[in-house]
Structure 1
Amino acid sequence: MPKAIPSTPATASLPVDASSSLWSRLSSWAADNKAVAYTIGAVVVVVTGAGVVYYLNQTGDVKKLGQFPVPDSPTERAADGSARKKKKKTKKPKKEDAEKPADGAASKAAPPPPPTIEVEDELPEITEASVTQFTQEERKTYAGKLKGLGNDAYNKKNYDEAIKLYTQAILCKPDPIYYSNRAACYNAQSNWSAVIEDTTAAIALNPEYVKALNRRANAYEQTEEYSKALLDYTASCILEQFRNDNAAASVERLLKIVAETKGRKMLEGKPKRLPSPTFVTNYLQSFREKPAPEGLEDATDENTGDYYLNKGLQDIKLKTAQSYEEAAQAFEKALELGVSDQYQAFAYNMRGTFKYLKGDGADALQDVTKSIELDPNMTQSYIKRASMVLETGDKDGAEDDFNRAIAVNPEDPDIYYHRAQLHFITLEYSEAARDYQKSIDLDRDFIYSHIQLGVTQYKQGSVASSFATFRRCQKNFDKSPDVYNYYGELLLDQNKYEEAIEKFNTAIDMEKAVRPMGMNVLPLINKALAVFQSHQNYQEAEKLCKTALILDPDCDIAIATLAQLLLQQGRVSEALEYFEKAADLARTEPEIVNALSYAEATRTQLEVQEKYPQLAARMSMAGAASAAAAAGMGMPR
């Protein structure tokens, strides 16, 4: 099934990586399989709702290990301490928690219960004062009888009477089951504060009481205390070894809610800013370089818009974070001062481009539309508008703009290159390959058409054709670091580690020689993945990512990769810092929500370890067992 179109300028402009970071592989696999991923020690364990455990090895492959056993739940023990008979496994009914019987209550399938005991015949008056007169054995006996009467009232939906009986049982014996059963009554009445109070009491008496955790989580969710609900559902998942589909689905749902809530707050008043220089450079060079409009280089009067328009073009050539920011300001200033009539369409095109890169989609769309109105023959404006409308999910609108551009100039190779990107993103690889080839036929000197054709052939399953394309690229574009970087990615995906590392080293050396001030750091990040996957060399991989961040501090790919490396080493607090940084750097709401989802999942792991130390120990044991199983299967650890 085609994946959703990502909301980033890369969707219609950048060469798409043939392989992805561990972050992408893990998140995509977990999402596709509706699984929950946890980092345990030095491994990542992914557990599906059915309880099947998968081990993510260092090559990024997912291997099936087996299934966790289902532990006995504390809620399935009788109140008087006697052992229950082992129940035959049955399918759980899909009902809301409020409709489930209280702990220990008879199910509908059970035989009719014996005649109800009348309270006045069998039990004395139960008050705070009277219970002090009873022996411990009497209190225990009375509590059990009161609980049975409470269960009977609950099943009859006489919740007020059930609450009264459970309250008397608690007076006799403060038992976690009694608190949880009374919470079930309050749950049925939507008295969420009382549910939270009683389940908290139950959990204090039994920290591993799963049903109480789930009930409290549901109550927290109803009162919109989403972070607390997420924590309880996560603890519940761990206790039940991820066998509860509803709890696992709740974790996924709440992560999204928490991330979206925080994301909206982050966006309020957040200044628009450019992404990393690596990102900006890759986007700009996805268009064939063209000379500046005739006469613009002669604009030397600093009081004119023409001067600032030319200045912006000169700033772009430096390819640094500062120069790109100065270019954005220059294009803004140019239109504020006013430019000559012959440059107006170009000025709106450039200002719209940088607004787009900053994530200001609405204003960017206005600018490129204005550019088209001023000069309907400027095909690049149609192409950029197509990218913008594509991000809104309007594929038909994007295709319409490409068709308009072709009608204006069917010989413009940029049109076919960017339309191919649309097809690539929507997994229409045959159509993408045709458009990449068309772009090559019109202009054989644009390297990215060749690179992307090779990647598309690889995605189609034609590895031999893909590698042949890259070998031709090496011959014809032997001075381009991008050829070696993307070729290395394909080799890495084929687990040809040493060959991949050799290509990445070549790309790194070329980047240093060609662009020392604006180096593309992607080869460094790819090499980090290669040394990690091939030799499990965390230290070298981490060093390479940090080097990339020194050169490009805002590179989101480096931050994401480093966060995952730290997470796999169990350095959860450090990983959280990088996930939060990724969220801070994100430009659009979908990007922020994605980064915050990882941050919140990581934060919840820390909170579980702090609040439920016994669960942290259990997770460590599970991690050791998974590693041992992996070793037994001959998989790298």
Structure 2
Amino acid sequence: MAPTIASGPAGTTVTVPGNSSLWDRISNWASENKGLVYTIAGVAVVVTGAGVVYYIRKGPDEESVPKPSKKERRKRKQAEKEAEKGAAAEKQAETSKTATVETADELPEIDEASVIGLSESQRKEYAAKLKEAGNKAYNQKDFNKAIELYSKAILCKPDPVYYCNRAACHNALSEWEKVVEDTTAALAFDNEYIKALNRRSNAYDHLGKYSEALLDITASCIIDGFRNEQSAQAVERLLKKFAETKAKEILETKPARLPSATFVGNYLQSFRAKPRPAGLEDDAELDEETGKGQLQKGLKAMESKIAPSYEEAAEAFEKALTLGDLGEYEAYAHNLRGTFQCLKGKHQEALADLSKSIELDPGLTQSYIKRASMNLELGAPDKAEEDFEAALAKNPEDPDIYYHRAQLHFIKGEFADAQKDYQKSIDLDPDFIFSHIQLGVTQYKLGSIASSMATFRRCIKNFPKIPDVYNYYGELLLDQTKFSEAIEKFDTAIELEKETKPMSMNVLPLINKSLALFQWKQDFSEAEKLCEKALIIDPECDIAVATMAQLLLQQGRVTEALKYFERAAELARTEGELVSAISYAEATRTQIQVQEKYPDLASKLSGMGGGVVR
């Protein structure tokens, strides 16, 4: 675990420098610009942590019912009111005089043969009477009788309201396929019929057709002018359900792979550099076809800090344990293989390796720390705390233990405890830069802005050639909307990255500068160029991919944005990351589908964004 300004989403707690803070800035951008709504290609959207959401949240009333659009046909307004009362199982306050029926005996006998002989006016009159009787039966929960009556009304006069009312009966009986049939028939008459869209969305949801359900409820929200809270919440719920279902399917067949070189490098450097164990140095002559030789090969590759070398290291550590005969290095080999299993998201395998490492060498405290990190990622903070306590019992003077335990406190929001552990880590080893950086970040989270800024100024004085200092200092300045100063720090970080790590440059300062220019000047062109440069250096960097997707989305380049959201899903390492990426992608894809299916909505909403309260 290493520096981060804010804890990341649940399930992504193997934190690395900058990743969480950048994800927070990307996915929580709407919280920093609370009322800001963009009109993108004719569709008003809000960008939130849940994805691209097509509504403006107004209140907590989950039981509210969608209001008809102002442009709904007037001829359906009274019928809509009555059907709404019926759908809510409320008693009608009064009934229409022209369509009142007191007993079933007064209803006309209608079938396919008899309806042919009726005049147009008779059909209309009979349909109204049958519909009223259907409403009464519905209110009395006699759904099969109501279905019969609405079906006869449809024979007299096919009408979207009658189909939609009959769909409500099938809904009450959980006959979801029939709900889809009737609402689809209603929408054939009027493809902007909100109630039919909502009911069909609900039926698709029950049928497990989440993408179709999302399309219908999204269209409903847009037609209704984003006024209904219940529909808005349905969008969120369906996005989450779709993404979780899709993520599980993908993870069942997705091959394990290492994340970006930026991610791997940042995770590895969160541990203090230590010399290799005696006998594994470069000048030690070891046969590569032995376990020890592969261990040496893997360590050398890992120290190269470039993507192909990380893959080579992972393979070498695997082969080392397969070949065996590692002797005193066996615990160390399990530690290293477990580290890369963790980075690949192979949680159970990583835990097994780290536990084996501890069993073989209880004094290897780094294995306790890494297992604590894994337990935290798997949602077991109590087990993580136990691992830290066990590590301290073995070596209370190990500064890495205090640093990573501080990260545990930080993620849990226990900033005072985190501050103490960061300081202890510094007292034991003042030369580890990330303890200082994270101390400054924690002071910032505690509201001690002056102390935090002073800590970063001391860092610059004591570690003037470390790019991470300037990068994280810039993030805090950006959080204070000190844009010019923040960009200056990011520029310094970028130059130092070039100087000190030309072959393994950390791209996070480039992405931070991109976001700063976007937030400050809405300079999309330069922001895009910086993201493109980051992706040239590290094509697997998920943060760069997600940032590019958001930049394109803000400009209304929805189809291009979708490609990047889909790429972000491919790069996701954990289930939590995958759910988030799929949510963004599906919301964007739904936006495109709505525009294609309802072309009139684009022109209808083209001026809407400017009229929304900000």
TM-score (norm 2): 0.90
Secondary structure of 1:45's match?
strand
Aligned pair 1:395/2:399, yes or no? Answer: no
Aligned pair 1:110/2:113, yes or no? Answer: no
Mark the CA change 1:137 to 1:111 in structure 2 (over 3 Å): closer, same or farther. Answer: closer
Aligned pair 1:600/2:604, yes or no? Answer: no
Secondary structure of 1:268's match?
helix
The residue identity in structure 2 corresponding to 1:216 is R
Aligned pair 1:585/2:571, yes or no? Answer: yes
CA contact (8 A) 1:213 1:236 kept: yes
Q: Which residue of 2 aligns with 1:195?
A: 179
Moved more, 278-287 or 304-313: 304-313
CA contact (8 A) 2:41 2:602 kept: no
Task: Return the offset for 1:616.
Answer: 3.1
CA contact (8 A) 1:15 1:448 kept: no
The residue identity in structure 2 corresponding to 1:40 is I
Q: Please list, as runs of the form range in 1=range in 2, the aligned pairs for 1:471-486 lying within 5 A after superposition.
A: 471-486=457-472
Inter-partner Cα distance in structure 1 for 2:537 and 2:382: 39
Inter-partner Cα distance in structure 2 for 1:623 and 1:36: 9
The residue identity in structure 2 corresponding to 1:347 is A
Q: Which residue of 1 aligns with 2:410?
A: 424
CA contact (8 A) 1:17 1:486 kept: no
Aligned pair 1:518/2:522, yes or no? Answer: no
Mark the CA change 1:565 to 1:416 in structure 2 (over 3 Å): closer, same or farther. Answer: same
CA contact (8 A) 2:85 2:91 kept: no
Q: Please list, as runs of the form range in 1=range in 2, the aligned pairs for 1:480-519 lying within 5 A after superposition.
A: 480-519=466-505
Inter-partner Cα distance in structure 1 for 2:569 and 2:584: 9
Inter-partner Cα distance in structure 2 for 1:163 and 1:345: 71
Aligned pair 1:260/2:244, yes or no? Answer: yes
Aligned pair 1:176/2:166, yes or no? Answer: no
Secondary structure of 1:237's match?
helix
Aligned pair 1:279/2:287, yes or no? Answer: no
Q: Please list, as runs of the form range in 1=range in 2, the aligned pairs for 1:113-124 lying within 5 A after superposition.
A: 116-117=101-102, 121=106, 123=108
Aligned pair 1:7/2:11, yes or no? Answer: yes
Mark the CA change 1:121 to 1:437 in structure 2 (over 3 Å): closer, same or farther. Answer: closer
CA contact (8 A) 2:19 2:543 kept: no
CA contact (8 A) 1:5 1:391 kept: no
Q: Please list, as runs of the form range in 1=range in 2, the aligned pairs for 1:319-468 lying within 5 A after superposition.
A: 319-468=305-454
CA contact (8 A) 2:168 2:179 kept: yes
Task: Return the offset for 1:174.
Answer: 1.5
Task: Return the offset for 1:405.
Answer: 0.9
Task: Return the offset for 1:212.
Answer: 1.1
Task: Return the offset for 1:304.
Answer: 1.3
CA contact (8 A) 1:51 1:243 kept: no
Residue identity (%): 60
CA contact (8 A) 1:18 1:486 kept: no
Q: Which residue of 1 aligns with 2:50?
A: none
Q: Which residue of 1 aligns with 2:298?
A: 312
CA contact (8 A) 1:263 1:589 kept: yes
Residue 529 of structure 1, aligned match among 491, 515, 520: 515
Mark the CA change 1:239 to 1:596 in structure 2 (over 3 Å): closer, same or farther. Answer: same
CA contact (8 A) 2:183 2:199 kept: yes
Task: Return the offset for 1:165.
Answer: 2.1
Name stretches of at least 5 consecutive residues in structure 2 with no aligned partner: 1-5, 48-54, 61-65
Task: Return the offset for 1:543.
Answer: 1.0
Q: Which residue of 2 aligns with 1:23?
A: 26
Q: Which residue of 2 aligns with 1:63?
A: none
Inter-partner Cα distance in structure 2 for 1:562 and 1:19: 13
Mark the CA change 1:109 to 1:473 in structure 2 (over 3 Å): closer, same or farther. Answer: same
The residue identity in structure 1 corresponding to 2:46 is V
Name stretches of at least 5 consecutive residues in structure 1 with no aligned partner: 53-68, 88-96, 631-637
Q: Which residue of 1 aligns with 2:52?
A: none
Task: Return the offset for 1:559.
Answer: 0.8
Task: Return the offset for 1:37.
Answer: 8.3
CA contact (8 A) 2:545 2:565 kept: yes
Q: Which residue of 2 aligns with 1:62?
A: none
Q: Deviation per CA, 1:11-51, whole angstroms, max 9, x where unpaired?
A: 3x546765655432147789xx9x99876359853645426
Inter-partner Cα distance in structure 2 for 1:452 and 1:83: 63
Matched positions, count: 592
Inter-partner Cα distance in structure 2 for 1:15 and 1:254: 30
Task: Return the offset for 1:444.
Answer: 0.7
Inter-partner Cα distance in structure 2 for 1:106 and 1:265: 39
Mark the CA change 1:113 to 1:15 in structure 2 (over 3 Å): closer, same or farther. Answer: closer
Secondary structure of 2:177's match?
helix
Q: Which residue of 1 aligns with 2:274?
A: 290
Mark the CA change 1:180 to 1:84 in structure 2 (over 3 Å): closer, same or farther. Answer: closer
Aligned pair 1:50/2:58, yes or no? Answer: yes
Moved more, 552-561 or 260-269: 260-269
The residue identity in structure 1 corresponding to 2:27 is S
Task: Return the offset for 1:299.
Answer: 3.7
Inter-partner Cα distance in structure 2 for 1:427 and 1:126: 69
Inter-partner Cα distance in structure 1 for 2:86 and 2:372: 57
CA contact (8 A) 2:514 2:527 kept: yes
**Coordinate RMSD, CA, aligned:** 2.9
Inter-partner Cα distance in structure 2 for 1:215 and 1:74: 20
The residue identity in structure 1 corresponding to 2:101 is T
Q: Which residue of 1 aligns with 2:120?
A: 136
Inter-partner Cα distance in structure 1 for 2:516 and 2:8: 28
Secondary structure of 2:606's match?
helix
Inter-partner Cα distance in structure 2 for 1:472 and 1:551: 31
Residue 169 of structure 2, aligned match among 185, 193, 200: 185
Secondary structure of 2:46's match?
strand
Mark the CA change 1:118 to 1:396 in structure 2 (over 3 Å): closer, same or farther. Answer: closer
The residue identity in structure 2 corresponding to 1:250 is A
Q: Deviation per CA, 1:432-473, whole angstroms, max 9, x where unpaired?
A: 111111101111110000011111111111111111111111
Inter-partner Cα distance in structure 1 for 2:362 and 2:243: 42
Inter-partner Cα distance in structure 1 for 2:36 and 2:203: 22
Task: Return the offset for 1:215.
Answer: 1.2
Mark the CA change 1:5 to 1:341 in structure 2 (over 3 Å): closer, same or farther. Answer: farther
Residue 157 of structure 1, aligned match among 134, 141, 144: 141
Inter-partner Cα distance in structure 2 for 1:3 and 1:233: 32
The residue identity in structure 1 corresponding to 2:391 is A
Q: Which residue of 1 aligns with 2:216?
A: 232
Task: Return the offset for 1:392.
Answer: 1.6
Inter-partner Cα distance in structure 2 for 1:109 and 1:119: 18
CA contact (8 A) 2:150 2:165 kept: yes
Residue 621 of structure 1, aligned match among 604, 607, 610: 607
CA contact (8 A) 2:150 2:163 kept: yes
Mark the CA change 1:570 to 1:7 in structure 2 (over 3 Å): closer, same or farther. Answer: same
Task: Return the offset for 1:412.
Answer: 0.7
The residue identity in structure 1 corresponding to 2:58 is A
CA contact (8 A) 1:454 1:469 kept: yes
Mark the CA change 1:601 to 1:27 in structure 2 (over 3 Å): closer, same or farther. Answer: farther
Mark the CA change 1:84 to 1:331 in structure 2 (over 3 Å): closer, same or farther. Answer: closer
Secondary structure of 2:431's match?
coil
Task: Return the offset for 1:122.
Answer: 6.5
Q: Which residue of 2 aligns with 1:66?
A: none
Task: Return the offset for 1:300.
Answer: 2.4
CA contact (8 A) 2:280 2:296 kept: yes
The residue identity in structure 2 corresponding to 1:126 is I
Mark the CA change 1:21 to 1:369 in structure 2 (over 3 Å): closer, same or farther. Answer: closer
TM-score (norm 1): 0.87
Inter-partner Cα distance in structure 2 for 1:190 and 1:400: 49
Mark the CA change 1:39 to 1:459 in structure 2 (over 3 Å): closer, same or farther. Answer: farther
CA contact (8 A) 1:300 1:307 kept: yes
Inter-partner Cα distance in structure 2 for 1:196 and 1:37: 33
Q: Deviation per CA, 1:63-85, whole angstroms, max 9, x where unpaired?
A: xxxxxx96547889665x77999
